[in-house]
Amino acid sequence: MTLANTGAGRRTLEVQPWAEFPVNQGALCRKGWTSGGLTGHRERLTTPLLRDRATGEFRSVGWDDALDVVAGTLAAIREEHGADALAVFGGGGLTNEKSYQLGKFARVALGTSQIDYNGRWCMSSAASAANRAFGVDRGLPFPLADVEQAEVVVLVGSNLAETMPPAARHLDRCRENGGEVVVIDPRRTSTADRADLVVQPVPGTDLALALGVLHLVISGGHVDESYVAERTSGWEAVRDHVAAWWPERVERVTGISVPELHALADLMTSHRRVMVLTARGAEQHAQGSDTVLAWINVCLALGLPGREHAGWGCLTGQGNGQGGREHGQKSDQLPGYRMIDDPAARQHVAGVWGVEADSLPGKGRSAYELLEALGTPEGPKALLVHGSNIVVSAPNATHVAERLEALDLLVVCDLVLSETAAMADVVLPVTQWAEETGTMTNLEGRVILRRQARRAPSGVRSDLDVIAGLAERLGSPVPFSTDPETIFAELGRASSGGKADYAGITYERIETELGVFWPCPTPEHPGTPRLFADAFATSDGRARFLDVEHRGPAEPCDGEFPVHLTTGRVLAQYQSGAQTRRIRELPDGGAFIEMHPLLAARIGVADGMRVTISTRRGELTAPARVATTIRPDTVFVPFHWLGVNRLTHDALDPASRMPEFKVCAARVEAA
Amino acid sequence: MRPLGGRSATPRERLVVVGHGMAATRFVEQLVAGGYPGHVTVIGEEPVPAYNRILLSAVLEGTHDASAIRLRSPEWYAEHGVELRLGTRVLTVDREHGDVMLVDGTCVPFDRLVLATGAIPTLPPIRGLVRPDGSLHPRVHAFRSLADCERLLAVLPVDAARAVVIGGGLLGLQVARALSVRGVATEVVEGGDTVLSRQVTPAAGTILARSLTQLGTTVYTGARATKLIDHPEEGGPIGVQLDNGFVLDADLIVLTAGGRPSVALARGAGLQVRRGIVVDEHLASPTDPRIHAIGDCAQHAGQVTGFVPPAWEQAVVLAQRLCGADLDYRGSRNVARLRATDLEVAVLGDPVAEPGEIVEVSNPVAGKHSRLVVRDGVIVAAALVGDLSRVGLITQAYDRGTVLGVREPGDLLLPETAAPLAPLPDDAEVCACAGVTAGAVRACGSLAEAQERTRATTGCGGCTQVCSRLVGEVPVREPREPREPREVVSPVRS
């Protein structure tokens, strides 16, 4: 979309579709149409807030005072407890420039290893799986529009039509072209309404389903043997293992009947251009990365990755979910998707930053582990939060709120007084998307540019200014720029030679080429819309089959908590709702508890009646939404509202450190 | 992965596993996963590495490639430091010396012994079945091992136009269906009054037998084969004489009339044996706690199961115990499924004998029969014949012991009814992307106007048809017809 100046005298901006842009071709959902709605919003923060220790109330202060207080406290804590007592929590909504600058700020100005971001709770399982299987993590290894040319598109745990509605048009076009769409989800969502085959497994069993599909791929003789021999390694162990996942066993675990499983496998084995796209439903589990690997195994056995209009991809969840994880916000990574424990990577990045490689800290804690450590004797004492509303979006949120309260200093940068900002010692008002320039990298690995469209309200600064101001006060060995284009050029140099190589990308190229796909190592390089045609990004160029086993949910249902709870989004809201809940045109009905009529009858409630849902961690009361579209043994609650994540489980994936957002054991009763 | 066994100062426990079937394989996998520190030796009678025995009928039917049922390769065992001895048999267990003797006279010492010897097929009392030298009649096939399956496949389809399957249990029906799919005219002889008499009620068995007949397989119930009659001509069919006087001509005969736990070793070693090798909640013999039994050969709490799921649960419990966990085996919930094209049966627990209230839906005309046994709101057993549309859900409720509502068991057996389509009220939201109601679209003169004024249809595009109808236009594209059921491409290889 674009913003057009339509006001006669005053500068008023209106959202307009941008039909030339190839990803959505101008289509928008109501969140896009109303995204200008926070302009001049009365809840918009326009001055730094400092909590008065005596009264506990916020008072407005000037920027210099606020930054002095923050820097002074950070320095004192660092003096007493060491640099790792300072922590940074970023977000997948920040621009590449901010993500990059935040990672550099943590390592250089603060000197801490303790930085991670909310993307850990979003795409990390897919990222971990893709890195292990293909040697690189780019959400989609092909442009989104390739979906239209696929013969079969399998969506595993994606509600595309509600979470990224314009993208659903590609599905429709795929079907117009004769393609078939499969949706795998415990709920028959509006995405499932446009599917040819809907498969509704028990939450937390997508992995077993994939093992079952692979079993049928093998038993039916559909393995692409030459592809497996020439382009992969590790096949034998996987092949032998899935012999133990015959259809009837899969049926018992997943709740998917044998004929349904056959229908799914038949569809996938009888076409050449097959695409498997995973999303949060498959990934937000304590076995999320293994689940993704299991589906990648299916794709590799069928010889799909690298084939035109086929293969595996991940549907990114946040605006800059992809770019946000490439430039150093992650506890174990440096810019360019380099690993922080790789000596060559440290040398290169330190060189660009103008510091000694030895001065860079090592690996820090992952997002949830970082939050859990806050205020503990070994853990950080101060936390800076950029672009995240932790107390709404973290799992087991009651516990997380307690950890935030145990901090000596909590600083939150936000547009509005979010639930997390309301707990802070210092709140810094920052720019909204239209008020700043910066790049983002979308789900296709396409780097796009968002130009500033209007001036920020007075009193509001960019996160880049906050970072530079703090760095200076903390005596950073190197200065921090506040100009996005300068930072982007530095990011390009830092990423040069890395997996996500931006070295050849400039603002100018992005604008003329409607985005540039990484890797793009030189100004002459055309960018890389499609990966894997000839080789994978592993050391030997082969993709890896990894033998994964179904472990099931961390918290199985039992007599006390007999139903599965799963969470997700609704169309009109986004993430923690800090912005969308404040936009008048977006309906905000609050949380609801979706359940099947069979379950509603069991507990004696009807549509709209109040229901209390409880787990071992907390409870929530909300109206029932009775629908035949959900599995009768499962309830769904959207996560945009405070309280929902007090219910969710904090078991972590061993590889990706993703919490188990998508399944836990719950009990429902009439309130 | 590291090989089993650490560098501890104490001598490593020597663990010997007798048997190399489903239970033993699962057991060894779990030992490896749990980091069991001892030295493991597996002794298997069959010469091939572990395979998935329960898929043999699928291999016979042709839906499964024979190469796709191997569970673990010899390399896998070597990689994990497990000693694998195939194609040999244990003759005796010497508890006093703590070793087992193999047929070639070698002795393998053990500190701990796991018997996973499985079951052996019972030979029905049919005259002429076994020849004077003790071998089976050349036209008669057992169906227990991969070798049996390969031998049977080798005589199909050219040599066999007609087959008689002795036994109308789960395996018998699977084999009969498999042969029939392979183009062999097949008849089933079952001594009981109905097929699957141990799993389902007579009413369900009768419905199932009729479905089988409709699929081209004749079922003779209440009839026993008593004698084989050789044809005077070489290569001609043989006759199967039934106790009711009929003689069925057949080119081959397959025995599937059940099995019994293989207990000879245990009995020889002086362990307590009833129908199976008796084990306690630690899956250990009460006679000798160093000796365990799992799978089809074991008898726990008076039960011998003969199915893979309980065998695997026993394997997991025992392996985890040996890896240091403190847990007991408390019995299993079993789900048995018939694996055969066009024949749908699921049996949960024991729906014939389990006490409880019965909820049943029967439609013999459509070949469907469903029975739930419910106690205190919990499904404690079930049989589903001919209609598996809710099998996933019912199995979940059974496995988790979910307490259901009063009407729920009945509702689970009835098909979901779709709500009738009502005209959309004006305040119904039709376009979620732009937040547009039906009334707002109706107020427009054309789809183009609706798009311009309300932005309906311009997001995900999913409401285009509804909006077209609301403004009185013919939809651009008709909703797709529900697809024909996909023709199942028969993977049978000739």
CATH of the domain at A622: 2.40.40.20
Query: Residue A10: its pLDDT value, please?
Result: 52
Name chain A contacts of B389, Cβ cutoff 8 Å. 257
Domain boundaries, chain B: 14-119+260-322, 140-257, 344-413, 429-470
Residue A193 has its nearest CB partner, among B391, B397, B462, at B462
Say which range, A71-75, A656-660, B220-224, B482-486, has the weakest mean pLDDT.
Answer: B482-486
Q: Decide which of 3.10.20.600, 3.50.50.60, 3.40.50.10490, 3.40.50.150 is the CATH code for B140-257.
A: 3.50.50.60
Give the dihedral sign, CA A173/A175/A178/A179: positive
Percentage of chain A modeled with pLDDT above 70? 99
If you measure CA to CA, which chain A residue comes closest to B377? Answer: A602
- B140-257 and B344-413 agree in CATH topology: no
Kindly tell me if the per-residue pLDDT of B483 is higher than 50.
no
Tell me which residue range forms the domain holding A572.
563-670
**In the prediction, which pLDDT does A123 show?**
86
pLDDT tens, residue by residue, A600-613:
999 999 999 999 99
**Contact (Cβ atoms closer than 8 angstroms) between residue B145 and residue B134:** no
Residues A155, A215: one domain?
Answer: yes
Do B100 and B108 meet the contact criterion of CB atoms below 8 Å apart? yes
Q: Which of A188, A551, A585, A602 to mutate to test the interface with B (most CBs of B within 10 A)?
A: A602
Is the N-terminal amide bond of B289 cis, ω within 30° of 0?
Answer: no
Residue B485 pLDDT level (bands cut at 50, 70, 90): very low
Cα–Cα distance for residue pair A158/A189, rounded to 1 Å:
9
Using the Cβ of B157 and the Cβ atoms of chain A, whether some distance falls under 8 Å is answered with no
Burial of B249 (0-12, 13-18, 19+ CB in 10 A): middle
pLDDT above 80: residue B233: no
Chain A residues whose CB is inside 8 A of the B486 CB are: 263, 266-267
The sign one gets for the Cα dihedral B296, B297, B303, B309 is negative
CA atoms within 13 Å, Cβ hemisphere of A121: 34
Judgement on whether residues A328 and A309 belong to the same structural domain of the protein: no
**A28–chain B Cβ distance below 8 A for any pair:** yes
Contacts of A215 in chain B (CB under 8 A): 68
User: Would A465 be classed as within a structural domain?
Assistant: yes
Q: Are residues A304 and A341 in the same domain?
A: no
B185 touches chain A (CB under 8 A): no
Q: Is the pLDDT reported for residue B494 higher than 50?
A: no
Out of A192-201, B109-118, B144-153, B234-243, pick the least confident. B234-243
Same domain, A285 and A405: no
Q: In whole numbers, what is the pLDDT of chain A averaged over residues?
A: 93
The per-residue pLDDT for range B354-401, each reduced to its tens digit, is: 999 999 999 999 999 999 999 999 999 999 999 999 999 999 999 999
The pLDDT > 70 percentage for chain B reads 92
Q: Are residues A358 and A505 in the same domain?
A: yes
Do A302 and A440 sit in the same domain of this protein? Answer: no
- Looking at per-residue pLDDT, the higher value among A238 and B458 belongs to A238
A248–B337 C-beta distance less than 8 A: yes
pLDDT 10s digits, A455-477: 999 999 999 999 999 999 999 99
Show the tokens assigned to A241.
Answer: 């293992």
> Average of pLDDT values for B203-228?
94
**Which neighbouring-strand residues pair with B385?**
B345, B369
Which of B26, B63, B68 is the closest to A243 by Cβ? B68
Q: How many CB atoms lie within 10 A of CB A187?
A: 23
- Cross-chain residue pair B491–A252, CB shorter than 8 Å: no
Residue A443: other Cβ atoms inside 10 A: 25
Q: Tell me the per-residue pLDDT of A574-597, one tens digit each, with 9 for 90 and over.
A: 888 888 888 888 888 889 999 999
One domain for residues A64 and A174: no
| Contact (Cβ atoms closer than 8 angstroms) between residue A53 and residue A452 | no
* pLDDT surpassing 80 at residue B486: no
CATH code (residue A397):
3.40.50.740
Task: Determine, yes or no, domain membership for A42.
Answer: no
Please give the structure tokens belonging to residue B158.
């050219």
pLDDT bracket for residue B418 (50, 70, 90): low
Scan for tokens 């229908």, then name that residue: A263
Q: What is the dihedral of CA B80, B86, B92, B94, to 10 degrees?
A: -20
What confidence tens digit (pLDDT) does each residue in A491-517 have?
A: 999 999 999 999 999 999 999 999 999
B5 vs A407 pLDDT, higher one = A407
Residue A23 confidence class, pLDDT cut points 50, 70, 90:
confident
ipTM: 0.89
CATH entry 3.50.50.60 includes domain B14-119+260-322: yes
Give the mean model confidence (pLDDT) for residues B1-18.
Answer: 67
A486-493 average pLDDT score: 97
The residue of chain B with its CA nearest to that of A248 is B337
Is it the case that residue B257 has pLDDT exceeding 90?
no
Residue B417, pLDDT score: 66
CB contact under 8 A, A30 and B433: yes
Predicted local confidence at residue B161, as pLDDT: 87
Q: What are the chain A neighbours of B392 within 8 Å (beta carbons)? A: 202, 251, 254-257
From the list A29, A246, A267, which residue is nearest B459 (CB)? A29
Give the DSSP H or E segment for B397.
Answer: helix B391-400
Q: How far apart are the first and last CA of chain B?
A: 41
Asked whether the bond before B157 is cis by omega within 30 degrees of 0, the reply is yes
pLDDT of A12 reads 67
pLDDT number for residue A280: 93
Q: Are residues A146 and A227 in the same domain?
A: yes
CA distance A460 to B457: 37
Sequence-ordered list of residues with C-beta below 8 angstroms from that of A247, at least 6 positions apart, any chain: A212, A215, A216, A258, A261, A262, B339
Q: Does position B482 have pLDDT exceeding 60, yes or no?
A: no
- What is the mean pLDDT of the segment spanning B63-87? 92
**Chain A interface disruption, residue of B388, B396, B452, B490, most A CBs within 10 A:** B396
pLDDT at B2: 43
Chain B residue with minimal CA distance to A194? Answer: B462
pLDDT digits (tens, 9 = 90+) for B48-64: 989 999 999 999 999 88
Quote the CATH superfamily of domain B344-413.
Answer: FAD/NAD-linked reductase, C-terminal dimerisation domain (3.30.390.30)
CATH fold of B429-470, please? Arc Repressor Mutant, subunit A (1.10.10)
pLDDT digits (tens, 9 = 90+) for A638-647: 988 888 889 9
Listed residue (B10, B8, B13) closest to B323, CA to CA: B13
Q: Based on the domain organization, do A196 and A224 belong to the same domain?
A: yes
Do A512 and A577 belong together in one domain?
no
Interface of B with A in 96-115 (CB under 8 A): none
Domain count, chain A: 4
Does residue A556 fall inside a structural domain?
A: no
Nearest Cα of chain A lies from the Cα of B41 at a distance, in angstroms, of 20
Please name the member of A27, A236, A256 whose beta carbon is closest to the beta carbon of B458: A27
Give CA–CA dist A521/A404, Å, rounded. Answer: 41
Predicted pLDDT of residue B420: 60
Nearest-CA distance A589 → chain B (Å): 13
Phi, psi of A37 (to 5 degrees): -65, -15
- What CATH number does residue A169 fall under? 3.40.228.10
Position B370 scores a pLDDT of 97
A15 and A61, same domain (yes or no): no
A108 and A153, same domain (yes or no): no
Per-window interface: A 160-179 vs B, CB < 8 A: 161-162, 165-169, 172, 175-176
pLDDT at A89 over 80: yes
